[in-house]
Amino acid sequence: MCSLALFPAPLACGQTTLCESNNELLSGTATDHRLKQSTHINYSVVLYFPRESLKLHCRTESSSKAAFLDHSETLWMRSAAAWRDGGLTGLLNEITNSNTEVPKWLSVSSGFTLALLRWFSSFHGSLFPHLTMSSENMLAEFSQVLNWSDCVVRAFAWHPHADKFAVALLDDSIKIYNPKSATTPTLKHRLQRSVAAVQWKPMCASALAVACQNCLLVWHVDPCSLSTRPSSGCAQVLSNPGHSPVTSIAWSPSGSLLVSASPMDTAMMVWDVASESCVPLQRVGGGGVTFLSWSPDSSHVLASTPSALFRVWETRTWTCERWPCVKGRCQSGCWSPDGSRLLFTVQGEMVIYVLTFGDTPGPQAAAVVADLSETTFNTADGDIIVGGEIHSLSWDPTGERLAVLLEGDPQAADRPAIIAVFKTRTNPIFELLPCTECFVRFSVSSGFVQGEPGAEPRMMQFHPNFQHGALLTVCWSSGRITHVPFYFLGAGVPHFGLSGSPSLPRPQERPADFANQSLFTELIS
Amino acid sequence: MFSTEQSCWFIRKVVCWRAVASIAWAVLLLLPITAVFVILSRFSLLHPIQTFSECLSFLTCASAIFSLILMCGVIIMVGFLNLEYYTVIPTIACSKIALLGQLLHPRQFVNSLAHCIMGIIVAWCCAVTLGGRYETIGYPCTQGDGTDSSPQMCLNEYHLILLLAGAFVGFSHSLLAVISNINYVSFHTVQQYKYLRFKGSLPFVVKCSAAQALYSVRNYIVVYFFLGYIPKAWICKTLNLHLNSSVHPLDSIAGLLDLSLLYHQWISASFLLFTWNITLLLFRIFVTEVYSFPVQSSFTEDAHQCLPKVLTDKQPMILKFLALQDVALLSQHSPSRRCEVFSLSQPGGHPHNWNAISKECLSLLADLTQRLVAYHDTVATNGRAKSLSTGSERKTSSETSFTSATEDLMSPRPTLLLRTPASVFARFVVGTPHSPLTAPFTPDLDSPFASPALRRLTAPLDQCSPWFGTVQSPHIMRRAPKLWSTSTDSQVNGSPPASPASVPSPKQEPFKPSRLALFLRNRKEQLPEASSQALFADSQAHIWALEGLSYLVQASFSEDQFGVIQTTLPSILGCMLILQEAVDRHFKLPHASSKPVRSASGMGDSTYKTLRFALRATLKTAIYRITTTFGNHLNAVQMSAEHRKRLQQFLEYKE
């Protein structure tokens, strides 16, 4: 088991992590930043979205009602409008409120029904407390982005094959950056509000799925188009009653299906995007689905719920295994590149668990692989406490680096949110043994990734096919997006388990100057 | 009805048993459904316990058991009709006239009649179940005033109105079935177990049965209000019953506005539709269940059941579809079966399995390409049919260029013509009597001359068809069957007429359009989107072929030990790229890319309306799957410069 005590101390104030080379994380100030990365010019580009530059919505759609004069309509009209806007509760509310116009028995009975409904929903809410939250709060609570509601960059996604990425911003727009083209298309749509997640469709150049507050959008952005504002006709709207807000989406790695999850809906939707049809996979326990992750070999899907329970779906016949947790809900999870191992974290615990899947029946319990309990480091600026609950996990496509976003404590200055990076090796020798202790060997820790002073990491993602190791993209609280390359030589091309789908095209030859570096990596790990 | 000589082993051994299992489940489910119906129909809020005891005592009495047995008979009949009429390729009416033709088809008439009778039987069972005033058709009454009143039998209109409601609901159900393509069985992309699928779709069936019952009852009430006196008088006359003048007649506003009567009608109609829809749902679930064919067999007598042989079979369409689905699934999920596909035959060392599978998939794709090209050539850019002369001219020129391009891909097949499975006389126009697009024992609504019995029924209908007497021009007569279809003039010129009896000799006098012909022609061009739908009606097969091929090619990168894929890789890529081009061109047509209106009401499966979008997406994904797997290795593959350029776009992720 690995713990934070083995980590080198965090950097002093003013230093930022630049890259990993020769098996250590290099740091520097902003000035020599450019100098060191001049070899990989593409990734030294730092995107910066200052909060002031974004034009934010100051009002919601329904609040514009107040700007107009009150117009007295007939009861029928108002009831019809209430039914359209608020459904049954809206209608009952309207009837109860206009008790001067309706017969007394009607207003009394509708008030009684309303009270009964409210009592029932509060009872339901006491079973699943998350149901009482507003949809914004719910998104913030279950998002993989730390402190989502206050974050300038709300979602980020690398394209799985091409060298481009999409960024969702606080003002509900999405920008697409491609280093090879000068145009950065901006996607805006009437329904694109409170973006919780974006993901590119695999095996496709253009489709981008967006999880919004009320629906799912699938944009088709023509990569050859010079338009900077694709029309909203390029977006497919996928919605299902009761399936909102959508907090998580996942494309199948073969690009054929899209699954979406909402904490309000106990069913997980499997979409056939082209025909805009969906199959709900309903399991009542847990009270909703918050986070989805499809294994890279497309054989399993992790679906966590707001309760202390998560499921692992098997995608051939769509049956699921239930995994109850002891303490809290499953906060985050990630799959090994061959899809045989699942790392996950549980809210309220400071450890990372592993589950192994394979031909044999799965393990009966998850094993702890890393302990991230709080550790105090002495730095030049004073003591810093690192550790605590884990917000999200990200494993690079070669399976050699694991980035862990630690929540920290926003109130305490000496407990910052920080990204810890582990080196990992999935050891083939241990695969045959029944011992669950060490399926994944966490070797000597790599270190912490830090940004500019005052900036906290909010979200991170590994580049899906970086040629010289791994590239971690971090979105900071300041609105900056930086890329931290980890230069290393992989121990082996990832081998695929069940489906046998080959890996993404990986370079056969490597630059000569990195050749000796591999020795260090191999020796130390 | 069920022609035995056509049935192959698959129908006998698999499909029939699946149908039987689904009917058995439907019959088993009938008991709880009936119990729920009894409780709902007799429920009274004030005496809940009394209701339950009444229901229990009713369910054990003889009349209830008899009506249950009758209901079982109806369910079995419905299940049999499902088996007889189901189709995996939807029948799409390309114009309003064609739809009308389907509705007036003699076979449809028989179907509607059967549904009417079954509706009456179910309604009678409902009447027995409801009891009280609904129970019998006649009751003793004293007619007349004064002293000469003698006891006689009077008509119980409540009973009659329920029976007629059953007949009406059954009839409208059978009509709606044609309009919403209820016989079309679609395959799901998500493979769930049968129980989970059933559980998942049960709420939807309840909802749509209740809604459909509501609409049917509303329409029925209107009809009964105006025309109710006819059946009433007829029944009175035949059964020698009398109308009780002291009771208020029901075909009046006051009589129909009886809330309890409305509720009972609605709940009976819901019960009827629910049992039928459940039978249909179970049938769909059972018949589309994945069937795993062996890739190769060590015994020669089982060879006809193996995947390579089964794929090439044309006849039972369901067999071909299930085989293609199996190919798509094995290529994704099972390495051991993929290994069998890539294996070589023991003496000789030929990759027979792979050759058979790839050849069949490629010929399917080439078939679609040719269909698209032909269609594109026959429509003008505005999506309407071109005039006769230009269409045929263009066709020949482009056809020759196209066939030369894809010559190596095509296996020798009968002349592929633009086939529209939608058209009522499609089979007839095209002149290929055993078109692979039409299932063998499936109810071909499109072939009116399926059996001699039906032919007899057909003849008078044709005689009294609206244009028979008025249109004298032989040209119009020749065109007449064609008015039902999207297939174009150029095809008819090329193919010999299949039945000279109803397709008279070619034109003898210059074309002189009559007013009716023009009218019909305009009606014919009414639904341009439908012609696009009809073109892709069987595209589920192409989708599976694309998936199967692309996954197999992807897996071959690491699993193919003998390199059997490599020899076919150029033709696979070429075929996909040509199809991609054709599909792109098709989607440039004005009506092809417009999304159909999503109507989730009813049991009809509208998956076929979006098949073309699914095909487009699958095609692109399939090409990307190959290019991402092979990457720059594809530069070593032999192909034309044009294709290479196109492929380069895919390699650079610019499509």
Dump pLDDT digits (tens) for B533-552. 888 999 999 999 999 999 99
Q: Is B628 near chain A, with CB under 8 Å?
A: yes
When pLDDT is cut at 50, 70 and 90, the band that residue B406 belongs to is very low
SS3 of A111, please? helix
Give the best-scoring range by mean pLDDT among A243-257, A434-448, B2-16: A243-257
- The pLDDT of residue B513: 57
Tell me if B654 and A256 make a contact (CB, 8 A cut-off): no
When pLDDT is cut at 50, 70 and 90, the band that residue B467 belongs to is very low
Chain B nearest C-alpha distance from A205 (Å) = 5
When pLDDT is cut at 50, 70 and 90, the band that residue A65 belongs to is low
* B618 pLDDT more than 70: yes
Chain A residues touching B628 at Cβ < 8 A: 161, 203, 504-505
pLDDT in tens, B79-129: 999 998 898 998 888 788 888 888 888 988 999 999 999 999 999 999 998
Rounded Cα–Cα distance for residues A448 and A461 (Å): 15
For the stretch A321-324, contacts whose Cβ atoms lie closer than 8 Å and that sit 24 or more positions apart, written own/partner, are A321/A362, A322/A285, A323/A355, A323/A366
What average pLDDT does range B471-480 have in this prediction?
38
Q: SS3 for B403-431, per residue?
A: HHHCHHHCCCCCCCCCCCCCCCCHHHHHC
Which one has a higher pLDDT value, A421 or B363? B363
Tell me if B193 and A317 make a contact (CB, 8 A cut-off): yes
Tell me if B189 and A272 make a contact (CB, 8 A cut-off): yes
**DSSP conformation class of A362:** P
Best of A268, A277, A503 to disrupt the B interface (most B CBs within 10 Å) is A277
Chain A nearest C-alpha distance from B63 (Å) = 40
When pLDDT is cut at 50, 70 and 90, the band that residue A225 belongs to is confident
- The pLDDT of residue B445: 38
Select the residue of B192, B551, B610 nearest A318 (Cβ to Cβ): B192
Chain A residues touching B621 at Cβ < 8 A: 203-204, 254-256
SS3 of A184, please? coil
Least-confidence region, from B37-51, B121-135, B274-288: B37-51
What average pLDDT does range A105-121 have in this prediction?
87
- The pLDDT of residue B140: 84
What average pLDDT does range A161-174 have in this prediction?
92
- The pLDDT of residue B16: 93
Rounded Cα–Cα distance for residues B87 and B182 (Å): 9
pLDDT in tens, A227-261: 899 998 899 999 988 898 999 999 999 999 999 99
Tokens representing B645 are 């350029």
* A513 pLDDT more than 60: no
Select the residue of B193, B610, B620 nearest A275 (Cβ to Cβ): B610
Q: Which of B539, B551, B571 minimizes the C-alpha distance to B622?
A: B551
* B13 pLDDT more than 80: yes
Select the residue of A279, A282, A500 nearest B190 (Cβ to Cβ): A279
Tell me if A162 and B196 make a contact (CB, 8 A cut-off): no
Tell me if B654 and A254 make a contact (CB, 8 A cut-off): no
pLDDT in tens, A122-137: 887 788 888 888 888 8
Chain B residues touching A276 at Cβ < 8 A: 595, 598, 610
- The pLDDT of residue B415: 36
Please report, as a single letter, which amino acid is at residue B353: N
Chain B nearest C-alpha distance from A280 (Å) = 7
When pLDDT is cut at 50, 70 and 90, the band that residue A181 belongs to is confident
Rounded Cα–Cα distance for residues B294 and B344 (Å): 16
Sign of CA dihedral B258, B259, B265, B269: positive
Best of B332, B559, B618 to disrupt the A interface (most A CBs within 10 Å) is B332
Q: Between residues 75 and 104 of chain B, which touch chain A (CB distance below 8 Å)?
A: none
pLDDT above 90 coverage of chain A, percent: 30
Which residues in A have their CB inside 8 Å of a CB on B?
159, 161-162, 203-206, 223-224, 254-257, 270, 272-277, 279-282, 316-319, 496, 498-502, 504-505
Chain A residues touching B547 at Cβ < 8 A: 256
Chain B nearest C-alpha distance from A467 (Å) = 15
When pLDDT is cut at 50, 70 and 90, the band that residue B427 belongs to is very low
Q: Is B191 near chain A, with CB under 8 Å?
A: yes
Q: Is B596 near chain A, with CB under 8 Å?
A: no
Select the residue of B200, B554, B617 nearest A501 (Cβ to Cβ): B554
Q: What is the dihedral of CA B224, B226, B232, B237, to 10 degrees?
A: -150
Rounded Cα–Cα distance for residues B535 and B527 (Å): 13
Checking ipTM against 0.95, whether it exceeds it is no
What average pLDDT does range A483-509 have in this prediction?
53
Best of B620, B634, B645 to disrupt the A interface (most A CBs within 10 Å) is B620
* A397 pLDDT more than 50: yes
Chain B residues touching A256 at Cβ < 8 A: 189, 547, 618, 621
When pLDDT is cut at 50, 70 and 90, the band that residue B144 belongs to is low
When pLDDT is cut at 50, 70 and 90, the band that residue A340 belongs to is confident
Chain A residues touching B557 at Cβ < 8 A: 502
pLDDT in tens, B283-334: 999 999 999 999 988 888 888 888 888 888 887 889 999 999 999 999 999 9
Cα first-last separation, chain A = 14
Chain A residues touching B655 at Cβ < 8 A: 205-206, 223
* B507 pLDDT more than 70: no
Q: Is B629 near chain A, with CB under 8 Å?
A: yes
Least-confidence region, from A39-48, A314-323, B81-90, B491-500: B491-500
What average pLDDT does range B243-268 have in this prediction?
85
Q: Is B193 near chain A, with CB under 8 Å?
A: yes
Label residue B332 left, alpha or beta by phi (over 0 means left) and psi (-120 to 50 means alpha). alpha
When pLDDT is cut at 50, 70 and 90, the band that residue A35 belongs to is very low
Chain A nearest C-alpha distance from B623 (Å) = 8
Rounded Cα–Cα distance for residues A136 and A159 (Å): 27
Which one has a higher pLDDT value, A357 or A359? A357
Among chain A residues, the shortest Cα distance to B559 is held by A500
SS3 of B127, please? helix
What average pLDDT does range A157-162 have in this prediction?
92
Rounded Cα–Cα distance for residues A136 and A156 (Å): 18
**DSSP conformation class of B11:** I
Tell me if B557 and A161 make a contact (CB, 8 A cut-off): no
- The pLDDT of residue A525: 29
Chain A residues touching B558 at Cβ < 8 A: 496, 500, 502
Tell me if B617 and A273 make a contact (CB, 8 A cut-off): yes
Rounded Cα–Cα distance for residues A398 and A373 (Å): 27
Q: Is B625 near chain A, with CB under 8 Å?
A: yes
SS3 of A481, please? strand
* B610 pLDDT more than 60: yes
* A220 pLDDT more than 50: yes
Burial of B525-547, coded b for 16+ CB within 10 Å and e otherwise, reads eebbbbbbbbbbbbbbbbbbbbb
Rounded Cα–Cα distance for residues A222 and A207 (Å): 9
* B493 pLDDT more than 80: no
pLDDT in tens, B449-462: 333 333 333 333 33
Rounded Cα–Cα distance for residues B632 and B648 (Å): 9
When pLDDT is cut at 50, 70 and 90, the band that residue B598 belongs to is low
* B27 pLDDT more than 70: yes
What average pLDDT does range B58-64 have in this prediction?
86
* A139 pLDDT more than 70: yes
* A365 pLDDT more than 80: no
Q: Which of B455, B555, B541, B551 minimizes the C-alpha distance to B106?
A: B455
Select the residue of B193, B200, B653 nearest A205 (Cβ to Cβ): B653
Rounded Cα–Cα distance for residues A36 and A38 (Å): 6
Least-confidence region, from A292-296, B435-439, B633-637: B435-439
Tell me if B332 and A499 make a contact (CB, 8 A cut-off): yes
Q: Is B196 near chain A, with CB under 8 Å?
A: yes
Tell me if B624 and A205 make a contact (CB, 8 A cut-off): yes
Is cis: bond before A507, omega within 30 of 0? no
Select the residue of B200, B607, B628 nearest A161 (Cβ to Cβ): B628
Select the residue of B191, B624, B629 nearest A502 (Cβ to Cβ): B629
Kindly calculate the radius of gyration of chain A based on its CA atoms and give it in whole angstroms: 25
The H-or-E segment that residue A2 falls in is strand A2-3
Rounded Cα–Cα distance for residues B561 and A429 (Å): 26
Select the residue of A204, A275, A502 nearest B613 (Cβ to Cβ): A275
What average pLDDT does range A445-462 have in this prediction?
84
- The pLDDT of residue B519: 67
Among chain A residues, the shortest Cα distance to B543 is held by A256
Contact present, A217 and A201 (Cβ < 8 Å): no
* Interaxial angle between packed helices B259-287 and B106-130, expressed in degrees from 0 to 180 and rounded to the nearest 10: 130
Least-confidence region, from A9-13, A150-154, A323-327, B22-26: A9-13
Q: Which of B377, B487, B360, B350 minimizes the C-alpha distance to B432?
A: B487
Tell me if A273 and B598 make a contact (CB, 8 A cut-off): no
* B482 pLDDT more than 60: no
Residue-averaged pLDDT of chain A:
80
What average pLDDT does range B493-509 have in this prediction?
40
Which one has a higher pLDDT value, A381 or A31? A381
Least-confidence region, from A65-79, A203-217, A497-511, B335-349: A497-511
Among chain A residues, the shortest Cα distance to B626 is held by A203
**DSSP conformation class of B385:** B
* B439 pLDDT more than 60: no
Tell me if A223 and B653 make a contact (CB, 8 A cut-off): yes
* A507 pLDDT more than 60: no
* B468 pLDDT more than 60: no
Chain A nearest C-alpha distance from B541 (Å) = 16
What average pLDDT does range A463-479 have in this prediction?
89
Select the residue of B189, B335, B632 nearest A257 (Cβ to Cβ): B189
Q: How many residues does chain A have?
A: 525
Tell me if A204 and B620 make a contact (CB, 8 A cut-off): yes
